[in-house]
Chain A
Amino acid sequence: MQASTCSCGKTVILKRKLCPHCGKLMNSIELEDDAVVLTYTTLYTVPEGFKAPIFLVLAELKKGVKLLCGCKNENDLEIGRKGKIVIENEKYFFVGNPK
């Protein structure tokens, strides 16, 4: 998982040049793919170009980093559910660990 970290303490997901908190240059780091579901929704009214329904998860990774991503399995939609972030076709998805 590519993330960016700053000397001010802010770490955010994805590659980013300037820290959104203090404006300093950020450094790229690799984050572990472990994640836990903070919240989720199933979206039925989708924008043009998308098919309904869409499962969305806001997950928490290490260092307090949050990631909004898709989810393929409705059974993984549960606050506190532990799992991993996988990348498919350059898109992020939450996949729950085997129960």
Chain B
Amino acid sequence: MAKVYISNVGMTKFGKRKESLQNLMNEAYVNSGPVHDSEIDAVFIGCMNPDEFVGDSNFATLIVDFLGLYQTPSVRIDNAPASGSAAFEQAFFSVAANHYKKVLVLAGEKMSDLPTKTTTRILSKLIDKYERSTGATMPALAALVTRRYMHEYGLSREELALAAVKNHYNGTLNPYAQFQKEIKIEDVLESKMISDPLRLFDCASIADGACAVILTSNKTDVKVTGIGHATDYLSLQYRDSLTSFNATKLAAKRAYLMANREPKDIDVAEVHDAFTILEIVNPEDLGFFKPGKGAAALVDGKTGLNGYLPINTSGGLKARGHPVGATGLAQICEIVWQLRGEADKRQISANIGLCHNIGGFVNNNIVTILEKC
């Protein structure tokens, strides 16, 4: 298997954008730095639902045509909100297999063109058909998990709000973040109730944006050392636990095994905080903290920028933004910047970083480990 390195990363500012999805992907590609188009062997595109969000299908061809990558092999990968990391994973395999030498990964989504109710309905299709027939939405499932976690571990509403407060602070230091404004615990507690006990500021919001990453078999300063992928039952009602997610645990185990690393080796992590409860549960499932201890780690500042394991230095899904298909690749961009010392005001000291991207309601998860070399 060939060793796989990252040469270029780039992204657009996330948020409500007036440009088309293909223009956002082009912007991310240009922002990834000097690229020589003729050397790109293939393009892997992570995008969850261009058919419904922007009205285009055959999106892989549309993009290579738009970017002028005439005749370059291209494929679009939909893996729910883990489309970005799934495209990265497939691109990685193609280089690791020595089939391609240099590939471009693009990921993006444009969600803000539609009314919120329509976007909510589209996102609800990620849920099992029976479960969504009850009216359940993604925030509703997260709320069910939150309440059970509060019951089992005594998590308080204020502690939960701290996840959003921390990530909004990190977002103020990230020029690409959707929200670059600090918030207080009271702002979270006074925001609109979405699905009790989760409020508006507990949920990542609707956003547009795109990212670009170039993978190569030529040695660079950042190597991809581990990728783990696992699924769980589609239905929440089939799961063994309501306070821990097997798809994260297994994906992490596989990534650690491949990289020959342990949770204690990780210096920085981007985790999928689509809801505040996930900022607490994910680090537990990734092996950073024991079950029930994720909130204490947050409260004690262990996962803050000055902590021993900074989490979501980018601002996470909550503040950097969550254009669903783009998120997994945005996590990769952030970790590469941290490893290269290019994270500006949010820079921390790191040699090994981890990305954790969730598809569906925590049932198609990908964990990626990147190392400075």
Q: A41-B143, A45-B194, A49-B121 are in contact. List 11 more A-B contacts (CB 8 A).
A: A12-B237, A14-B130, A20-B235, A44-B195, A50-B135, A58-B236, A66-B237, A67-B237, A68-B131, A70-B135, A91-B134
Known: A42-B195, A47-B121, A68-B134. A13 touches B144 (CB 8 A): no
Known: A50-B135, A79-B151. A41 touches B233 (CB 8 A): no
Interface majority SS (helix, strand, loop, mixed), chain B? helix
Q: A46 to B135, alpha carbons, bound, how many Å? A: 7
> Which one, B144, B235, B239, contacts A41 given CB within 8 A?
B144
Q: Mark B184-223, 1 if CB is under 8 A from A, else 0.
A: 0000000011111110000000000000000000000000
Number of A interface residues, CB 8 Å?
Answer: 28
Q: Which residues of chain B (100-137) have a CB below 8 Å from chain A?
A: 117-118, 120-121, 124, 130-137
Q: A56 to B132, alpha carbons, bound, how many Å? A: 11
A26 to chain B, nearest CB (A): 12
Q: A91 to B135, alpha carbons, bound, how many Å? A: 11
Q: Which residues of B contact A70 (CB under 8 A)?
A: 134-135
A39 touches B151 (CB 8 A): yes
B237 touches A47 (CB 8 A): no
A48 touches B134 (CB 8 A): no
In the complex, 16 of the A-B residue pairs with CB atoms within 8 angstroms, ordered by the A residue number, are A20-B234, A20-B235, A20-B238, A41-B197, A43-B137, A43-B140, A43-B143, A47-B120, A47-B124, A48-B118, A54-B134, A58-B148, A58-B236, A58-B237, A69-B134, A79-B151
A41 touches B195 (CB 8 A): yes
Chain B residues with a Cβ under 8 A of chain A: 117-118, 120-121, 124, 130-137, 139-140, 143-145, 147-148, 151, 192-198, 233-239, 242
Interface majority SS (helix, strand, loop, mixed), chain A? strand
Chain A residues with a Cβ under 8 A of chain B: 12-14, 20, 38-50, 54, 56, 58, 66-70, 79, 91-92
Q: Which residues of B contact A69 (CB under 8 A)?
A: 134
Q: A79 to B146, alpha carbons, bound, how many Å? A: 12
A38 touches B120 (CB 8 A): no
> Which one, B120, B197, B234, B239, contacts A45 given CB within 8 A?
B120
Q: A9 to B103, alpha carbons, bound, how many Å? A: 45
Q: Which residues of A contact B151 (CB under 8 A)?
A: 39, 79
A47 touches B135 (CB 8 A): yes
* CB nearest to B115 among chain A residues: A48
A56 touches B238 (CB 8 A): no
Known: A58-B236, A68-B237. A45 touches B139 (CB 8 A): yes
> Which one, A14, A47, A49, A58, contacts B144 given CB within 8 A?
A58
Known: A42-B196, A43-B195. A13 touches B237 (CB 8 A): yes
* CB nearest to B130 among chain A residues: A14
Known: A39-B145, A47-B121. A56 touches B242 (CB 8 A): no
Most buried by A among B124, B134, B148, B233: B134
B137 touches A45 (CB 8 A): yes
B340 to chain A, nearest CB (A): 40
* CB nearest to B147 among chain A residues: A39
Q: A14 to B135, alpha carbons, bound, how many Å? A: 17
